[in-house]
């Protein structure tokens, strides 16, 4: 009998981004004179929208007076924010949600990591390869490591993951995708929903980047597909939408229709389980943060968010265009802030990462860090300052490799 | 094989405070003319200290400009806050901590719920009865429900929990105690540390209310006891200290000395496991919140916090004095914001709760809701407004029961 959860010992020793951070730190201390440009970790650089700033100042003032002070809020989030989400993010796409199907959190990473709490330790799990490492590691921690299967996303299948051959209990899908920057069509997504309904599987749909979708025909929410409420949980984030990476707010949708059958034949509501999980192990998102999130939906907030996203997608368009003109093979970057760059000359991901860092002082993310099918790719993010993205492209253009 | 974590089905159906909230809602809608005074849920009523408000305005402004904007922070928290905690909360008591032993979180409830992630599902767990329900429920969710044993705290043992007879892997201690408001002496705490070292057990020490300690000889941290770094994790909270219940910030101490042996004989650092858990399933506490927490340690902040705590403890002194003068038996409330009131006439906790609500429009928390040994008690909190606490005492004094 072990005091600790020994599944932690099955984890790879270091988290991808810590490894990169270590390499960059080392490089910077060896070359203090060089200007390092990061197209690596997916952190934003634009400030919070002014509407959020104003809402936060107002909320901070409220917290400073006994008459307007707010203590414990609802674990599920304030009604004002849950209503705004239902009204602005979902209703216009024909998805009608009750506010009690929306759970406000301190960000999609927490929910993505914690959602496993309500799922069986014996479940089989399917996820695409390459994949956001949190899906893998949180499932390993939960004891499901040996039952993870990977669905390759590569040149051979045209970067479209295929349905599993047999039954899988839990499927993670992330669209627009991190790391490839690719999207899923309505038809492809319908295949997954149909599979999950048929197999009584659960889809965990990570829509953290939905605000970057520019093509009209691409679904923003899995619930745009008929029947998805019976089989899917959706994760949403304000991190990239409105620059909340350091502000921490997101939400998780658990529809009332979503049920599972317990081993003794009872029908169990996943909404009820998640609510219980959150009421027990979470105490709500800061009031000030929720007011900031609410402000995103004001007319000014929406315009400011749009302008920030346009700025980043301008980076993406510029980098994609430049790289293609230089003969690089690039994917993604049209409805997502990530560009999936094929390494030239058959180089490995880490090899090309090292080369870009050593020779051009550019930080990327090695594709293989997201899974074996990412080998031979690096991920570039469009979250940098325009002038840095341009300088990075200048360096690549002038590169004698 | 079940899709869901069926341990959730072992949970009691409703969380104590939701049940109370339901009863109060019902009472208020039946008696809209009556003024209900809550001495129930432990939520604060005083505004945030002005030093925190100022720090937050400043931090909000930083978030509004690209030059000073902060994106992802360290999952473990910013160094400025971790340093302040080591310097002001621990060093003055002779406890020297490295900043990498301090993990900033969105509150002690989250950490208390999530700490089980790094612990073995097969562990036995000991906790006092009465107990903060999160300890119970989070362990039931983690599959340890059948291995929980309760250490009674009652009149028979003078409200001092006794060491377990045999071996227990994980022990929860909360001092100053929620719900009884009682504290632990250095000598008693040493017995637990010695037990844990001898048995290679882990103590999870919840010090959420340490700021309320007024007697010099009472330990504020378990690490004031020799050897505790080898066997204890400590949880800290700003919720009650500085009114952060709606602001969400706390920290967890996991000393480097704290290790466990894996079943194949490896020595595993719990600091490393918790760090990995937090890096995977958490993305840090909001920058603005951490600046607010830092401000608590400024000279103005410390004075303002002191004044708020004095205000609440003034409530406690007043209520305790009035109740004793009326012949009630009360405990706690000297080094904690909770008073543990013995129900008169041998009434049950819920019966007395209902009576106080129905006849006096006063909300308390039934002791039995915290465990069977809480039967025959109700908990009163000192977090109300002074005039409300006084009015509640007037109502009790005038009560013809």
Cβ burial, residue A200 (10 Å; 0-12/13-18/19+): middle
> Across chain B, what does the average pLDDT equal?
96
Q: Which among B3, B110, B285 is the nearest to A283, CB-wise?
A: B110
Cβ neighbours of B276 in A, within 8 Å:
8, 11, 15, 137
CB B147 within 8 A of CB B123: yes
Instruction: Tell me, yes or no, if B6 comes closer than 8 A to chain A by beta carbon.
Output: yes
**A148-152 vs A37-38, strand pairing mode:** unpaired
Residue B209 main-chain phi, psi, to 5 deg: -110, 15
Interface test with B, best of A199, A280, A300, A384 (most B CBs within 10 A): A280
60-119 in chain A: CB under 8 A from chain B = 60-61, 63-66, 69-73, 106-107, 109-110, 112-114, 117-119
- pLDDT exceeds cutoff 80 at B15: no
Classified as helix, coil or strand, B11 is coil
The DSSP-derived string for A223-241 is GGSTTGGGTEEEEEESTTT
Q: Which among A3, A60, A65 is the nearest to B123, CB-wise?
A: A3
CA A79, A80, A81, A86: dihedral to nearest 10 degrees?
A: 80
Q: Residue B270's pLDDT band (boundaries 50, 70, 90)? A: very high
**pTM for the structure as a whole:** 0.96
Cβ neighbours of A385 in B, within 8 Å:
66
Q: Residue B275's pLDDT band (boundaries 50, 70, 90)? A: very high
- pLDDT exceeds cutoff 80 at A1: no
Measured between CA atoms, how close is B328 to chain A, in angstroms? Answer: 30
pLDDT at B1: 61
pLDDT at A314: 98
Cβ neighbours of A61 in B, within 8 Å:
53
By C-alpha distance, the chain B residue nearest A66 is: B47
User: With pLDDT > 90 as the criterion, what percentage of chain B qualifies?
Assistant: 95
Cβ neighbours of B287 in A, within 8 Å:
246-247
Q: What is the DSSP letter of B77?
A: -
Least reliable range by pLDDT among A8-17, A103-112, A123-132, A139-148 = A8-17
Cβ neighbours of A109 in B, within 8 Å:
281-283
pLDDT at B14: 65
By C-alpha distance, the chain B residue nearest A78 is: B246
CB A132 within 8 A of CB A371: no
CB B113 within 8 A of CB A284: no
Rounded CA-CA distance A55/A304 in Å is: 14
Q: Residue A14's pLDDT band (boundaries 50, 70, 90)? A: low
Instruction: Tell me, yes or no, if A22 comes closer than 8 A to chain B by beta carbon.
Output: no
Rounded CA-CA distance B269/B194 in Å is: 20
By C-alpha distance, the chain B residue nearest A11 is: B276
- pLDDT exceeds cutoff 90 at A50: yes
Task: Give the tens place of pLDDT for each residue, A17-38.
Answer: 878 989 999 999 999 999 999 9
Cα→Cα distances B384→B22, B31, B40, B311, B321, Å: 20, 21, 9, 10, 16
- pLDDT exceeds cutoff 70 at A380: yes
Rounded CA-CA distance A259/A266 in Å is: 10
- pLDDT exceeds cutoff 70 at A302: yes
Q: Which residues contact B207 (CB under 8 A, 6 or more apart)?
A: B174, B175, B220, B221, B222, B234, B235, B236
Task: Give the tens place of pLDDT for each residue, B300-352.
Answer: 999 999 999 999 999 999 999 999 999 999 999 999 999 999 999 999 999 99
CB neighbours (10 Å) of residue A324? Answer: 11
More confident: B2 or A360: A360
Average pLDDT in the A74-89 region?
A: 98
A370: left (phi over 0), alpha (psi -120 to 50) or beta: alpha
pLDDT at A78: 98
pLDDT at B17: 81
Do residue A246 and residue B63 have CB atoms under 8 angstroms apart? Answer: yes
313-342 in chain A: CB under 8 A from chain B = none
By C-alpha distance, the chain A residue nearest B3 is: A120
Do residue A45 and residue B248 have CB atoms under 8 angstroms apart? Answer: no
Rounded CA-CA distance A175/A343 in Å is: 23
By C-alpha distance, the chain B residue nearest A10 is: B273
What does the block give as tokens for B34? 């009556």
Q: Which among A46, A114, A121 is the nearest to B66, CB-wise?
A: A46
Q: At what angle do helices B299-325 and B386-397 cross, to 10 degrees?
A: 0
Q: How large is the ipTM?
A: 0.95
Task: Give the tens place of pLDDT for each residue, A221-278.
Answer: 999 999 999 999 999 999 999 999 999 999 999 999 999 989 999 999 999 999 999 9
Which of B217, B228, B112 shows the shortest CA–CA distance to B172? B112
Taking the CA atoms of A300, A301, A307 and A311 in sequence, report the sign of the dihedral they define.
positive
Residue B339 main-chain phi, psi, to 5 deg: -115, 130
Average pLDDT in the A36-45 region?
A: 91
Least reliable range by pLDDT among A43-52, B7-16, B123-132, B251-260 = B7-16
Task: Give the tens place of pLDDT for each residue, A140-179.
Answer: 999 999 999 999 999 999 999 999 999 999 999 999 999 9
Least reliable range by pLDDT among A35-44, A293-302, B172-181, B302-311 = A35-44
Instruction: Tell me, yes or no, if B263 comes closer than 8 A to chain A by beta carbon.
Output: yes
């Amino acid at each position: 009998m072990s005091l600790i959860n020994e599944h932690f010992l099955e984890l790879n020793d270091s988290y991808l981004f810590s490894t990169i951070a270590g390499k960059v730190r080392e490089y910077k201390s060896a070359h203090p004179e060089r200007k390092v440009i990061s197209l690596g970790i997916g952190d934003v650089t634009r400030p919070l929208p002014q509407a959020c700033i104003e809402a936060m100042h107002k909320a901070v003032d409220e917290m400073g007076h006994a008459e307007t002070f707010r203590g414990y809020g609802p674990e599920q989030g304030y009604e004002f924010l849950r209503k705004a989400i239902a009204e602005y993010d979902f209703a216009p796409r024909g998805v009608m949600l009750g506010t009690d199907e929306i759970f406000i959190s301190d960000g999609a990473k927490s929910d993505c990591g914690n959602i496993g709490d309500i799922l069986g330790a014996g479940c089989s799990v399917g996820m695409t390869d390459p994949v956001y490492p949190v899906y893998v590691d949180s499932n390993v921690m939960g004891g499901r490591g040996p039952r993870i299967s990977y669905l390759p996303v590569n040149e051979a299948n045209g970067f479209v993951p295929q349905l599993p051959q047999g039954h899988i209990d839990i499927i993670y899908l992330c669209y627009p995708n991190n790391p490839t920057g690719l999207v899923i069509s309505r038809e492809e997504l319908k295949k997954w929903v149909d599979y999950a309904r048929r197999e009584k599987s659960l889809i965990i749909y990570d829509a953290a980047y939905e605000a970057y979708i520019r093509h009209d025909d691409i679904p923003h929410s899995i619930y745009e597909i008929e029947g998805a409420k019976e089989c899917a949980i959706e994760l949403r984030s304000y991190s990239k939408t409105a620059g909340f990476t350091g502000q921490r707010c997101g939400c998780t949708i658990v529809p009332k229709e979503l049920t599972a059958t317990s081993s003794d034949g009872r029908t169990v509501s996943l909404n009820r389980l998640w609510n219980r999980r959150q009421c027990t192990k979470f105490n709500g998102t800061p009031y000030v943060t929720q007011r900031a999130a609410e402000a995103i939906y004001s007319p000014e907030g929406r315009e400011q968010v749009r302008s920030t996203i346009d700025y980043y997608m301008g980076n993406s368009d510029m980098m994609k265009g430049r790289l293609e003109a230089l003969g690089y093979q690039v994917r993604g970057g049209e409805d997502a802030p990530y560009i999936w760059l094929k390494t030239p000359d058959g180089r490995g991901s880490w090899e090309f990462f090292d080369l870009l860092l050593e020779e051009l002082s550019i930080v990327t993310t090695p594709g293989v860090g997201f899974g074996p099918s990412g080998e031979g790719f690096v991920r570039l993010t469009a979250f940098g300052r325009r002038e840095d993205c341009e300088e990075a492209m200048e360096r690549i253009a002038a590169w004698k490799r």
